[in-house]
Structure 1
Amino acid sequence: MTPSEDDWASLLAAAQGAREQAYAPYSRYRVGAAVLDEAGRVHAGCNVENAAYPEGLCAEAGAIAQLVMAGGRRIVAAVVVGEGAEPITPCGGCRQKLREFADGGLPVRSADVLGWRGEHTLGELLPASFGPAHLTPRGDDYAD
């Protein structure tokens, strides 16, 4: 499934709305994220900080949890929204979390409250990544 411009608009609106709900009393850096699943459903999340840093939750992790709760198993597009001089991209841990449900071709767009700031593929953000296929035995020649 290739995301349409309507899908991208829905993802942007969901991520911007999620960002407004972020709980970021320590960093004051609010983040929203949204992912599109294989059925065309949008799932959003926001960052939730914790006084016992780094026990907080990233926005992408929240969106992925919503995807799984809804029965989704594949991410076909992702958006991350934050404010700053540089366009926001997922942190290293979230890049790996996205990789669990997508391959290197996943389009990941960055935005702020005014609109789009950039686009990468997951492969550009996480080259030579480790994914679910690495845990699949190769067949007869597989040895413990």
Structure 2
Amino acid sequence: MTYNHQELIAAAARAKEKAYAPYSRFKVGAALCTAGGKIYIGCNIENASYSLTICAERVALFQAIAAGERDFVALAVVGGDQAACFPCGACRQVLAEFAPELEVITGQPGSPLYRRLLRELLPDTFTLK
């Protein structure tokens, strides 16, 4: 499966605009690409009880899982106006449950992109083993 990195980043940037971030004011968008080429988006959703906040990456993943998807190839993340915004540790672990070889792309539309494999970002994941 091939996909366009800039198109995936653009989808994440559009998702970022839907974020609910009144506390941090740091909006994040994510776009998750399946092996079949379908893209699921997510944005961060904050809560006054900070521990109940959910990250954009997990929103995108949970939407895909709820739609019956299980095979993922790439995730784009756009956060604020930062050059790079990689997933947090909790998101890395949840993503690794389904796609340890996932390509993670971050950056801003039209700018240089940063790319890593999820297993590079979280080398020792929790597993059923």
CA distance in 2, matches of 1:86, 1:4: 21
Q: Does the 8 Å CA contact 1:25/1:49 hold for their aligned counterparts? A: yes
Secondary structure of 1:77's counterpart equals strand
| AA of the residue aligned to 2:36 | A
Mean CA deviation greater in 108-117 or 118-127: 108-117
1:112 is the counterpart of 2:103: no
1:50-86 residue CA offsets vs partner (Å, 9 max, x unmatched): 0011211100011011111221012110111013555
Mean CA deviation greater in 93-102 or 81-90: 81-90
Identity %: 44
Secondary structure of 1:54's counterpart equals helix
* 2:40 equivalent in structure 1: 43
Q: 1:86 to 1:15 in 2, by over 3 A?
A: closer
Mean CA deviation greater in 81-90 or 48-57: 81-90
Larger radius of gyration: 1
Structure 1 runs of 4+ off > 2 angstroms?
Answer: 83-86, 112-117
CA distance in 2, matches of 1:34, 1:131: 24
- Count how many residue pairs are aligned between Structure 1 and Structure 2: 129
* 2:85 equivalent in structure 1: 88
| AA of the residue aligned to 2:84 | P
CA distance in 1, matches of 2:27, 2:110: 15
Q: Does the 8 Å CA contact 2:103/2:118 hold for their aligned counterparts? A: yes
Q: 1:30 to 1:129 in 2, by over 3 A?
A: same
CA distance in 2, matches of 1:85, 1:59: 15
Q: Which of 9, 15, 18 does residue 15 from structure 2 map onto?
A: 18
TM-score w.r.t. length of structure 2: 0.90
Tell me the C-alpha RMSD between the 2 structures: 1.7
CA distance in 1, matches of 2:18, 2:77: 14
Q: Does the 8 Å CA contact 2:40/2:60 hold for their aligned counterparts? A: yes
Q: Which of 63, 66, 69 does residue 69 from structure 1 map onto?
A: 66
TM-score w.r.t. length of structure 1: 0.81
Q: Does the 8 Å CA contact 1:21/1:46 hold for their aligned counterparts? A: yes
Q: Which runs of 5+ in 1 are unaligned?
A: 135-144
* 1:123 equivalent in structure 2: 119
Secondary structure of 2:11's counterpart equals helix
Q: Does the 8 Å CA contact 2:31/2:75 hold for their aligned counterparts? A: yes
* 2:55 equivalent in structure 1: 58
